[in-house]
């Protein structure tokens, strides 16, 4: 009986330690697996504060929309791998876009190169035009997207995208949106051209899809950013589209001013 109790206590302790490790967001963010250039962007993107505001927990089922090169995937995939489920809804295989294909191929190589961090990632396709399934209907606790809304606006697929997010979430689930923030009153054409989107417009998209705005945060705000630049948001780092022209000026501004919004799918 003593041996059985001892074994049970050891098992319980092991389970607790595993849970504690899985739940340690700070350790994941500081992990050696992260790309050095990506980690250097933490000062602007504030991943710990952002994910905490969005309520992301290690036991959740989370869908990241259009993860690109995997900046947030490097954090979310290891954070969720022990207790949760992580869907990376990337570009579709048959997109016909060479840019999309290069991005998707690079992302796949990233996953294959580090099975310990990314071996449990579920790769799905996100295509708002066709309504592809990013995750089984009503299965996700959270859908998150970072700096993508302006891209969907170009193809007039922005509302379709938010409708897809709503369909993938469980009742009571969270939609987290981080996006470059335009000045109030900016026209749709200027939003598409500049990459900056008004906060009111994003809220409108979400509400039309059925979401309720729960809270807005200034965690990714940057008061130095005027949102008016020769090459739009891509004038600023990390892109620096003007090259060396006024480079120091734009580096001093840093990355864009961004809204951070948490929406909720009603429970009924």
Of 202, 206, 192, 220, the C-alpha closest to 263 is 206
User: In angstroms, rounded to a whole number, what is the distance separating the alpha carbons of residues 217 and 15?
Assistant: 34
- Asked if 66 and 89 count as a contact pair (C-beta separation under 8 A), the reply is yes
Q: For residue 16, is pLDDT > 80?
A: no
Stretch 253-258: mean pLDDT, rounded? 98
Largest CA distance in the chain: 75
Q: What would the pLDDT profile of 173-205 be if each residue is shown by its tens digit?
A: 999 999 999 999 999 999 999 999 999 999 999
User: In angstroms, rounded to a whole number, what is the distance separating the alpha carbons of residues 135 and 123?
Assistant: 10
The terminus-to-terminus CA distance of the chain in angstroms comes to: 49
Confidence bin at 120 (pLDDT 50/70/90): very high
What is the predicted pLDDT for the residue at 191? 98
Name the DSSP letter for residue 203.
H
Confidence bin at 211 (pLDDT 50/70/90): very high
Length of the chain: 268
Q: For residue 101, is pLDDT > 70?
A: yes
Q: Is the dihedral of CA 218, 189, 246, 41 positive or negative?
A: positive
Q: Is the pLDDT higher at 130 or at 66?
A: 66
What is the predicted pLDDT for the residue at 1? 44
Domains within the chain, CATH numbers bracketed: 25-264 (3.40.50.150)
Angstrom distances, CA of residue 161 to CA of 12, 84, 167: 43, 24, 10
> pTM for the complete prediction?
0.90
- Asked if 227 and 212 count as a contact pair (C-beta separation under 8 A), the reply is no
What is the predicted pLDDT for the residue at 216? 98
User: In angstroms, rounded to a whole number, what is the distance separating the alpha carbons of residues 243 and 234?
Assistant: 11
Of 131, 88, 136, 83, the C-alpha closest to 108 is 88
Work out the number of other CB atoms within 10 angstroms of the CB of residue 166. Answer: 20
What is the predicted pLDDT for the residue at 268? 82
The separation between CA 213 and the C-alpha centre of its own chain, rounded to angstroms, equals: 18
What is the predicted pLDDT for the residue at 95? 85
What is the predicted pLDDT for the residue at 132? 84
Q: Is the dihedral of CA 113, 114, 118, 120 positive or negative?
A: positive
Question: What average pLDDT does the structure give for the chain?
Answer: 92
Q: What would the pLDDT profile of 66-83 be if each residue is shown by its tens digit?
A: 999 999 999 999 999 999
User: In angstroms, rounded to a whole number, what is the distance separating the alpha carbons of residues 247 and 250?
Assistant: 5
- Asked if 35 and 113 count as a contact pair (C-beta separation under 8 A), the reply is no
Q: What would the pLDDT profile of 132-166 be if each residue is shown by its tens digit?
A: 899 999 999 999 999 999 999 999 999 999 999 99
What is the predicted pLDDT for the residue at 68? 97
Stretch 3-26: mean pLDDT, rounded? 49
Confidence bin at 2 (pLDDT 50/70/90): very low
């Amino acid at each position: 009986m003593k041996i059985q109790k001892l074994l049970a206590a050891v098992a319980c302790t092991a389970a607790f330690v595993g849970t504690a490790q899985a739940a340690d967001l700070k350790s994941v963010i500081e992990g050696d697996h992260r790309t050095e250039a990506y980690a250097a962007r933490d000062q602007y993107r504030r991943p710990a504060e952002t994910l905490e505001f969005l309520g992301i927990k290690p036991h959740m089922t989370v869908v990241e929309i259009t993860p690109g090169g995997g900046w947030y995937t490097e954090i979310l995939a290891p954070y969720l791998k022990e207790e949760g489920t992580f869907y990376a809804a990337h570009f579709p295989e048959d997109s016909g876009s060479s840019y999309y294909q290069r991005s998707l191929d690079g992302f796949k190589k990233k996953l294959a190169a580090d099975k310990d961090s990314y071996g449990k990632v579920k790769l799905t396709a996100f295509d708002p035009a066709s309504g592809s399934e990013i995750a089984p209907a009503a299965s996700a606790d959270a859908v998150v997207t970072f700096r993508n809304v302006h891209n969907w606006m170009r193809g007039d697929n922005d509302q379709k995208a938010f409708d897809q997010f709503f369909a993938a979430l469980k009742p009571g689930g969270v939609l987290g949106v981080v996006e470059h923030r335009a000045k109030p009153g900016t026209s749709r054409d200027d939003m598409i051209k500049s990459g900056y989107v008004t906060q009111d417009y994003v809220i409108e998209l979400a509400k039309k899809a059925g979401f309720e705005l729960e809270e807005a945060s200034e965690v990714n705000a940057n008061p130095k950013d005027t949102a008016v630049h020769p090459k739009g948001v891509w004038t600023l780092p990390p892109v620096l589209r003007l090259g060396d022209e006024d480079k120091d000026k734009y580096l001093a501004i840093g990355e864009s001013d961004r809204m951070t919004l948490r929406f909720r799918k009603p429970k009924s």
